[in-house]
Structure 1
Amino acid sequence: MNRITVVPAKGRAVPDPETGELLPAEGREVPDDIYWRRRINDEDVKIKEEDAPAKNPSAKEVSTK
């Protein structure tokens, strides 16, 4: 089964049925199943977005070769 990393939305406490505890504030990898998709649709959790590279690199980063 696929897995996704989710974090609780601000001000939300979300039970994690896999651990029996609340989802930690830093998030956790969970199964991509109907339970977590419902939490996402209800805006109880958000899918964690990894740090993406800068869209517009600075002049220092651009190679002039």
Structure 2
Amino acid sequence: ADAIDAALAQAEARARANGFALVSASGAALTVDRIARWARDLDTRGLRIVPASVALRGARDKRVSTAD
């Protein structure tokens, strides 16, 4: 649980610094539970969960690689 919480905190910090963070996780019960707890008050922290396609929309100029 502590490792999952730490990874979510890192993702949140990346999202604040970069405008978004892409995160993937397993479907394990503990992982789902920790994400659900973390996500409960995202709106009050100024964050939201969106599909990757939405997060990456308009991010073409921010890519490190020029490969499509």
TM-score (norm 2): 0.33
Structure with more relative contact order (C-alpha pairs < 8 Å, separation 6 or more): 1
Larger strand proportion, structure 1 or 2? 1
Between Structure 1 and Structure 2, the one with more helix by share is 2
